[in-house]
């Protein structure tokens, strides 16, 4: 092993303060070889006490004491995700030191932050797919608790048990906890398959309660539309509720709808950028056609439902309406999609015919339709009343 780069770094620091202790040097090298590490990680990995760590780290700050200046190699600030935790980072001055020492102490991918960044840049579904925003949210919980400088070699089943305990204390549901565990596992396994780190453990999951499919009744839909139009004076919300329940389109698909996607000549809607990265067509129900014609004519920037900037805005407004008519938080915008299939079945449409009766697609048919079922030669139209 070539120790010349290490000697250069030590001498570069000793020039600034010949009285520097070995603990101060260890803390500097630890911060330099980890991304945005927090004080607790330094204490655990270097096995030093809290008071000793504080005194040694202060030596590396701008001010060692009230009267003595420090070395100015580190900055100390509160973790924005946890105000009770202190984070250390290199200053620009420290960044001018030789970088060769990194390869003496660590592999290129040894910390959680490095593996996370690599996965976000190279995992196809997290780069080009619709799963990137969700992946960032689910992995951020782990980063919030343990920081980016955590060594991946420490992440085993026993460590994840402690992580699950922390999530449970925050009131996270078993389903949310499982998604957080899966996000961590995905990052580690993605890097392990590329020989960047050792193969990680297979983490246990929490047992989840059987899912319950909610749907709106016809009376509830009428009350929602009436409340949106009259009580809350949001006719655009009434329009989007009717549109969703009569097309079965997902929330993101509805918000991305532009005027060129609506074809009144063939009486269909072309849906692009679907969940399965396919394109499908949805027939225009006669009950929403007048409203859709009006909205296409009045569209702004070609957006049919231009009043809603994002999903959060739409969900907040929908929550006001559902709470007003006495529904709990389990009733979401996606519940309108469940209601669409429920209404088809309630009107007598056979389940094996329902996908053909409202959508033409190359993706897997919704509503759990088995592929072995026969398809009708001519699609049958269904009216959601």
More confident residue, 86 or 168: 168
- φ, ψ of residue 222 in degrees (nearest 5): -65, -40
pLDDT digits (tens, 9 = 90+) for 120-165: 989 988 887 667 888 999 999 999 998 888 889 899 999 999 999 9
- φ, ψ of residue 233 in degrees (nearest 5): 55, 50
Same topology, domains 4-105 and 218-361? Answer is no
In the predicted structure, residue 61 carries a pLDDT above the cut 80: yes
Lowest mean pLDDT among 56-70, 171-185, 216-230, 330-344: 56-70
In the predicted structure, residue 289 carries a pLDDT above the cut 50: yes
In the predicted structure, residue 374 carries a pLDDT above the cut 50: no
The pLDDT assigned to 94 comes to 63
Helices within the chain (DSSP H only): 4-16, 22-32, 39-46, 50-59, 92-95, 102-105, 112-122, 124-127, 132-146, 157-169, 174-193, 218-226, 235-247, 251-255, 289-297, 311-324, 335-346, 354-358
Per-residue pLDDT, averaged over 20-39, amounts to 79
Question: Exposed, middle or buried by CB within 10 Å (0-12, 13-18, 19+), for 84?
Answer: exposed
User: What's the token pair of residue 311?
Assistant: 């999903």
Strands 37-38 and 280-283: unpaired
Task: Determine the straight-line distance between the first and last CA of the chain, rounded to whole angstroms.
Answer: 77
| Backbone CA torsion sign across 98, 103, 108, 114 | negative
Per-residue pLDDT, averaged over 52-70, amounts to 78
User: What's the token pair of residue 152?
Assistant: 């991946």
Which position has the token pair 């060594």? 151
pLDDT digits (tens, 9 = 90+) for 307-346: 998 888 898 999 999 999 999 888 889 899 988 888 777 7
More confident residue, 296 or 109: 296
Please give the C-alpha separations between residue 163 and each of 126, 157, 158, 203, 204, in angstroms, as whole numbers: 23, 10, 9, 11, 12
C-alpha to C-alpha distance for 133 and 146, rounded to whole angstroms: 20
How many other C-beta atoms lie within 10 A of the C-beta of residue 344?
A: 22
Q: Are 327 and 271 in contact (CB under 8 A)?
A: no
| Backbone CA torsion sign across 12, 16, 19, 21 | negative
Q: Does domain 4-105 have CATH number 1.10.10.10?
A: yes
User: What's the token pair of residue 157?
Assistant: 């089943």
DSSP bridge partners of 258: 303
The pLDDT assigned to 208 comes to 85
The pLDDT assigned to 140 comes to 93
Domain boundaries, the chain: 4-105, 112-193, 218-361
More confident residue, 179 or 40: 179
Q: Are 116 and 125 in contact (CB under 8 A)?
A: no
- 218-361 fold: hpI Integrase; Chain A (1.10.443)
Q: Name residues whose C-beta falls within 8 Å of residue 123's C-beta, 6 or more positions apart in sequence.
A: 186, 190
Please give the C-alpha separations between residue 117 and each of 106, 133, 231, in angstroms, as whole numbers: 17, 14, 47
pLDDT digits (tens, 9 = 90+) for 197-255: 889 999 999 998 776 678 899 899 999 999 999 999 999 999 999 999 999 999 999 99
Nearest residue to 55 (alpha-carbon basis) of 95, 21, 90: 21
In the predicted structure, residue 15 carries a pLDDT above the cut 70: yes
More confident residue, 378 or 222: 222
């Amino acid at each position: 092993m070539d120790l010349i780069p290490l000697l250069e770094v030590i001498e570069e620091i000793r020039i600034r303060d010949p009285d520097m202790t070995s603990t101060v040097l260890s803390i500097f090298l630890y911060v330099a070889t980890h991304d945005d590490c927090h004080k607790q990680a330094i204490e655990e990995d270097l096995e030093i006490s809290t008071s000793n760590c504080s005194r040694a780290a202060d030596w590396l700050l701008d001010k060692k004491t009230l009267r003595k200046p420090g070395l100015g190699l580190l900055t100390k600030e509160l973790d924005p995700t946890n105000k009770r935790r202190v984070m250390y980072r290199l200053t620009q001055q420290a960044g001018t030191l030789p970088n060769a020492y990194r390869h003496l102490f660590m592999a290129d991918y040894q910390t959680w932050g490095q593996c996370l960044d690599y996965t976000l840049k190279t995992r196809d579904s997290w780069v080009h797919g619709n799963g990137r925003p969700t992946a960032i949210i689910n992995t951020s919980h782990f980063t919030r608790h343990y920081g980016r400088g955590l060594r991946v070699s420490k992440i085993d089943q026993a460590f994840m048990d402690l992580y699950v305990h922390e999530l449970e204390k925050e009131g996270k549901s078993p389903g949310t906890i499982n998604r957080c565990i899966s996000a961590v596992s995905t990052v580690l396994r993605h890097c392990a398959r590329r020989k960047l780190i050792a193969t990680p453990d297979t983490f246990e999951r929490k047992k989840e309660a059987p899912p319950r499919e909610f749907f709106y009744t016809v009376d509830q839909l009428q009350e929602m539309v009436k409340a949106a139009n009259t009580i809350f004076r949001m006719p655009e919300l009434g329009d989007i509720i009717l549109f969703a329940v009569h097309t079965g389109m997902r929330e993101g698909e509805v918000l991305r709808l532009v005027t060129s996607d609506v074809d009144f000549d063939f009486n269909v809607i072309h849906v692009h950028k679907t969940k399965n990265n396919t394109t499908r067509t949805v027939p225009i129900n006669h009950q929403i056609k007048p409203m859709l014609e009006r909205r296409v004519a009045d569209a702004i920037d070609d957006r049919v439902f231009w009043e809603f900037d994002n999903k959060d805005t739409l969900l907040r407004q929908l929550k006001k309406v559902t709470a007003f008519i006495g529904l709990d938080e389990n009733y979401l915008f996606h519940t309108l999609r469940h209601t669409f299939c429920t209404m088809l079945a309630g009107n007598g449409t056979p389940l094996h015919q329902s996908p053909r009766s409202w959508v033409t697609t190359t993706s897997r048919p919704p509503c759990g339709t088995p592929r072995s079922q026969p398809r009708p030669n001519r699609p049958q139209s269904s009216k959601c009343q």
